[in-house]
Structure 1
Amino acid sequence: MARTAAGIARFTLVEAVSVIAGAMVGTLAVAFFGWLFLSIDFASIAAAPAHYVLALVTVAIFAALYAYLPGTPATLASLAVGILLPTVIAKFAFDSVQTLGTVLLLNLVFALVALSVYRFVHASGLVRRAAADVTDRT
């Protein structure tokens, strides 16, 4: 089956919305979780652009994994990437003052929330309908 330009545009738009939503909601969930349970300043995570960039890259990797792997391996690989990549970056590049256990816990929350939001938005019929409306306009 040949892919049309509208189909490619629709797929790209759905992927972009899914990745952005997963990254934003995941980062805000981590900030809220850290503030609520770990006494970490909400703004230290929620207002830092570096956390959003890292979240966008991580969720974009989720999208690539789902594009090339079947469902279950893609989910397991996404959870591993969602936990390990931000942990390594936070400890070495961001020079985080939290313990390794705290950073792992925060990134576990991020991976679960970001992956759930990414998959929910990606599978949502409303997003697909909106993407169809946007790409079919001439």
Structure 2
Amino acid sequence: IFMSVWNVHINFFPLSGIVKYFRYHKGKYLLAKNPKSSQENERTSVVIENKNGIKVLYRQIAGTVARRIVFYVREGEEVVQSEESGFIKFGSRVDVFLPLDTDIKVKIGDKVKGSQTVIAEFSE
């Protein structure tokens, strides 16, 4: 999910559960649209596990202008879907990695709204 400098940069938890993993990674400041930015830019990596054992990894990725990432919780904390998880200042990106059997509800090019657009549903 790419956010331009004109978008709202608040990020939301993609599901309810427990934060099982959190890491901050120092890095470069490539354009957020660059495929390499997911691995090379400053970023956070977060894994949340829900009550059914489904795990989702998502990354907050800083862009060329965005040079500050804020994440509100740490490992072991319980989180609620659609509540604020943090923000990335200015142009940035969030990658969401879902289980392979997830029913994706959006397609490339769709505009999504934080805490409003359903991007996927789990087959539980």
TM-score interval (norm. to shorter): under 0.3
More strand by share: 2
Which structure is richer in relative contact order (CA contacts within 8 A, separation 6 or more)? 1
More helix by share: 1
Question: Which of 1 and 2 has greater Rg?
Answer: 1
- Structure-1-length-normalised TM-score: 0.22
